[in-house]
Amino acid sequence: MTSKQLEDDGFVTVEKRFKYMSIGGAGNNSKRSKNKKKNRYVFKDSIDYTLNDLEPILAQRREALGDSQFYKDLLDILEQQLIPTQPQELICYGIGSMQHSKNAQYQFILALLLRDMLKSVEKVSIYDPVMTELDKELSKSYNIDVIETNEDGKRKVSRPTLFYMPHCGRGLYSNTLSANWDKESLPNVIMIANRFDMYVGTQLERDLRRECPYLIPAVELVDCTSFPKEFDDNKVFNDLSVITFPKTSVENVKDSYWDDVPVEKVEE
């Protein structure tokens, strides 16, 4: 399939598959022949995709991403900020559905590129509640482990782990931090996520305490490098950053820091 055949999000033209199909029975009149010409392009809804439909779409996404200036600039950032952290695991939360979403397709491709780049990674896992059976089949075909239960992002890690969480909800980011909120675990958490200071300092403290309390103290500990600007329609990788918790920052805080998270219970 050529890139010309690839249409906007959600649809793929399958001209070849239908091109030679008979449209009607015997006795073609001229009107029918005209229709036949008009109907040369048949659109397939993503709901009907199989792996055979998705693979060429992903190949085209990979080409577009790989050829972009955005990716060239991103490589510099990843080489400096991510590769030295040597993550041994890559957990992908919240990519969405590769079957149905262009963002998810590009973000999935970046996960594959990250795995290739990070030689230290031994295992890749993925979870999003909206993943379809086809998304799971696709992931497994790339040797990515599909997490079967909803962890709500609360995975505790004991070795350097990259949490790839593009455009996830702030509560999910906070959950991942909460599961690793101590001196030993936090430096093992490396994230690709929205910058935390997008929320902290710009939104009501009361809302933050209720919805994502761990982001509040975390902003003081993070080292954060933004992704380059502008790719595609600027909705795929916008506002993302590489976030680390350097040991030096984590070890410098008082012991009470870990207990003083301003968690506010949601009223029943």
Interface ranges with ligand SAM (CB under 6 A)? 93-96, 103-104, 107, 127-130, 150, 152-153, 166-169, 172
User: Nearer to ligand SAM by C-beta: 114 or 250?
Assistant: 114
145/130 Cα distance (integer angstroms): 16
User: Nearer to ligand SAM by C-beta: 192 or 250?
Assistant: 192
Nearest distance in Å: CB 9, ligand SAM: 10
Nearest distance in Å: CB 68, ligand SAM: 17
141/160 Cα distance (integer angstroms): 25
CA distances from 55 to 1, 66, 96, 109 (A): 10, 16, 17, 11
List, in sequence order, every beta strand (DSSP E) within the chain: 11-13, 43-45, 89-93, 123-127, 145-146, 161-164, 189-194, 223-226, 240-244
Which residues, including other chains, have CB under 8 Å from residue 214's CB and lie 6 or more apart?
Answer: 173, 174, 175, 177, 178, 181, 261
Nearest distance in Å: CB 101, ligand SAM: 6
Residue nearest to ligand SAM (CB): 94
User: Nearer to ligand SAM by C-beta: 134 or 168?
Assistant: 168
17/5 Cα distance (integer angstroms): 12
User: Nearer to ligand SAM by C-beta: 134 or 221?
Assistant: 134
Nearest distance in Å: CB 102, ligand SAM: 8
DSSP 95: -
Which residues, including other chains, have CB under 8 Å from residue 210's CB and lie 6 or more apart?
Answer: 264, 265, 266
User: Nearer to ligand SAM by C-beta: 177 or 221?
Assistant: 177
Nearest distance in Å: CB 191, ligand SAM: 13
126/137 Cα distance (integer angstroms): 12
User: Nearer to ligand SAM by C-beta: 111 or 186?
Assistant: 111
User: Nearer to ligand SAM by C-beta: 87 or 166?
Assistant: 166
Q: Which two tokens stand for residue 48?
A: 């009907």
Secondary structure of the chain: what % helix, strand, coil (to 5)? Answer: 45, 15, 45
Nearest distance in Å: CB 107, ligand SAM: 5
Nearest distance in Å: CB 171, ligand SAM: 8
213/227 Cα distance (integer angstroms): 25
